[in-house]
Amino acid sequence: MRRNKLRSNWFARPALLVASDLVGKILVRSLPSGVFRYRITETEAYCGVKDLACHASKGRTKRTEVMFGSAGRIYVYLIYGMYYCLNFVTAQTEKAEAVLIRAVEPLFITNQKPIGPGKLCRVLLIDKTLNNKIIGQTSGLWVEDDGYVVTPKQLGKSARRGIIYAQKYALKPWRFYLKSSLFVS
């Protein structure tokens, strides 16, 4: 099976495009115990400083600095003081856009349940040490395209989860998911 690694320039597009296009792609994690591949089944787009659900809406801080940088970087943050979340920086420098990876399905174990955002980072040993690293083999985390096509009929859209504080932005249909997935968070 042929797999193409997505380069940083692939992520240099608006978060809404990248978020929908990531559904169906392969998230790859290289660890000392092996290389593990997961089908991305759910994402959310965060669209810069005007998006009240986006961390960048609070301005440029030590935490959000990575979002203002170049596309193709990893943005990891801690929620509830206990769970890391994985994001990829998108768009052009200074746009502060990113895509949250909300759910994946393992490709190597057929009876394992899909993995949501907090557990994803625990299972793949993703923490702040990956923050601001470039997506690729050097960081041990990258995305591949194996030719799997998600048609418009297979792609679901809805409001993002857990952001009621974001006013009108809480209602934006900026969550994308594979309708056939066994797990949609």
Alpha-carbon distances, residue 92 vs 23, 55, 135, 157 (angstroms): 21, 17, 16, 24
Q: pTM of this prediction?
A: 0.93
Q: CA torsion 11→183→165→84, rounded to 10°?
A: -60
Mean pLDDT of the chain: 92
Q: Where are the domains of the chain?
A: 4-177
CATH class of 4-177: alpha beta
**Helices (H), ranges, the chain:** 8-11, 15-22, 117-123
What is the Cα–Cα distance from 179 to 175, expressed in whole angstroms? 12
The string of pLDDT tens digits covering residues 117-152 is 788 899 899 999 999 999 999 999 999 999 999 999
